[in-house]
Amino acid sequence: MLSPISDKTFFLQVFGCQMNEHDSERIAGMLESLGAIQVPELEESEIVVFVTCCVREAADTRLMGQVASMKNVPLPQGSKLDKRIVCIGGCIGQRDGAKLMEKLPHVDVVFGTQNIDRLPRLIESVLVGKGHQAEVYEASEKFATDLPSKRVHTWAAWLPITSGCNNFCTYCIVPYVRGREKSRTIEDVAAEAQALVNDGVKEITLLGQNVNSYGRDLYGEPRFADVLRAVSATGVGRIRFATSHPKDLTDEVIALFGELPNLMPALHLPVQSGSDRVLKAMNRRYTAEHYLDLVRKVREANPDVALSTDIIVGFPGETEEDFQATANLVREVGYGQVFTFIYSKREGTPAAKMEDPTPREAIQRRFDELVDIVQEGAHEQNQRFTGRVLDVLVEGTSKRDEDVLAGRSPHNVTVHAPIPAGKTIDELEGTIVKVRIDESLTWYLSGEVVDAE
Ligand code: 5AD
Ligand code: SF4
């Protein structure tokens, strides 16, 4: 029987991390396999799906605002529905469940992080008149590997290897909304990687809240290095991974940066703070010294590795001295990119109960100071690329200039170069071109294409 979803148009709006981006690809894949049509604008849609994030308060507030304000957007002309079907999934769906419908009565479907595979059934129930549907599972038994996926780019793919997190950093809500860590088998990961390569994918990003502890639940010990070797053996052009907890980064994985030719020289290693006192209060289970030691080892294995990190400013009780320890660590490491966040209180986490006497202005000043240090550091790091010829995977054109291509170097740095004469962006997208870097700026490098694939 034809699904009532068939021929309906849907719009997907994603907030948050790469795991959510990937879940959205699965959602789009599932809905399209039932005959629905993805549209680029809310106004054109009969079904809207929000994949949400609650890691910081700002994402929460934005979602509530967006869902509330879209209530009056009319359905597209010709639709046979009497109202647009509004679905909220992802981390806020998981956290709030049916309660969301009390705050936002025009929401029709609530689902969580553990049951995205159920979304089509829930929408179908609404379409056949069964009323609002809210369904959130505590935890799913198995990894949803067999759902269809509609990739945003044909040449790049996310490949989840674990889901959930067991670390319980005291500020973080993720373990409560993504559940305990579950790993896929190496065979399963390798098979999906091979299928992606056969499908023409050039870059695979392995995903997990902490890829370094991959396999502990399945094999009794972390086996992330084995996953990297297995994915490398498929011959895929580029391998990346995110994200990585310093306490679980092994020497074996570090060594692979010097051994696997397709493992890209880029490592995202969230440090969160440079103060041992704060790291302890965050339950991070490493010291600044241990972190710096890891950085040294990574650079020994491959001096070209570009490092990036996440930092939280204003964790409860952070003193000026603690902050200066963070600033010093950032200067010492030399990051290519730093994602800086002001601490955001999340109900239900241990840090939400901690005293916080620091005035808001002091935290903002620390944040601004850190941003300056980060910019200086990134600019300095990028100088090493000037004069080099880098392999750039073309992703499209620069936002500001249609005649300029934009792509990523192996180090995950954005590169701009004029589109060579006689070539179009459609021909170049998804291919690797060689670019000679003439100028290295803080956020991107620019140069000339010296050879197209
Ligand atoms: N407040 C601010 N930043 C947070 N992060 C996680 N939880 C919070 C919070 N409560 C940041 C961490 C993490 C990144 C994904 O988000 O730096 O690495
Ligand atoms: Fe959150 Fe810590 Fe788990 Fe990362 S490792 S998802 S910061 S609890």
Which numbered ligand comes closest to the C-alpha of 178? Answer: 2
Return the closest-CA partner of residue 31 out of 12, 53, 59: 12
Ligand 2 mean position to 167 CA, how many Å? 6
pLDDT digits (tens, 9 = 90+) for 36-82: 999 999 999 999 999 999 999 998 899 999 999 998 899 999 999 99
Residue the block writes with tokens 């084995």: 226
Tell me if 310 CB under 6 Å of ligand 1.
yes
Index of the ligand 2 atom closest to the CA of residue 210: 5
pLDDT digits (tens, 9 = 90+) for 369-379: 999 999 999 99
Ligand 2 mean position to 349 CA, how many Å? 12
pLDDT digits (tens, 9 = 90+) for 260-294: 999 999 999 999 999 999 999 999 999 999 999 99
Supply the residue whose CA is at minimum distance from atom 5 of ligand 2.
167
Prediction pTM value? 0.95
Mean pLDDT of 138-167: 84
Tell me if 272 CB under 6 Å of ligand 1.
yes
Residue 347: which residues within 8 A CB-CB, separation 6 or more?
none
Mean pLDDT of 7-11: 97
Run of H or E residues at 224: helix 224-232
Supply the residue whose CA is at minimum distance from atom 7 of ligand 1.
172
Ligand 2 mean position to 238 CA, how many Å? 26
Domain 9-135 has CATH 3.60.20.10: no
Which numbered ligand comes closest to the C-alpha of 315? Answer: 1
* Buried b or exposed e, range 344-358, using 16+ CB within 10 angstroms: bebeebebeeeebeb
Question: How many whole angstroms separate alpha carbon 115 and alpha carbon 147?
Answer: 11
Checking if the pLDDT of 453 tops 80, the result is no
Q: Encoding tokens for residue 378?
A: 């990134």
pLDDT digits (tens, 9 = 90+) for 288-335: 999 999 999 999 999 999 999 999 999 999 999 999 999 999 999 999
Residues 52, 15 contacting (CB under 8 angstroms) = yes
Q: Encoding tokens for residue 20?
A: 């959510």
Residue type, 22: H
Q: What is the mean pLDDT of the chain?
A: 95
Which numbered ligand comes closest to the C-alpha of 268? Answer: 1
Ligand 2 mean position to 274 CA, how many Å? 17
Residues 110, 103 contacting (CB under 8 angstroms) = no
CA angle 183, 189, 193 (to 5 degrees): 150
Domain 386-452 has CATH 3.30.2130.10: no
Mean pLDDT of 426-438: 97
The full set of domain ranges for the chain reads 9-135, 156-383, 386-452
What fold, for 156-383?
A: pyruvate-formate lyase- activating enzyme (3.80.30)
Sign of the Cα pseudo-torsion (55, 61, 64, 66, in order) = negative
Confidence class for position 452, pLDDT limits 50, 70, 90: low
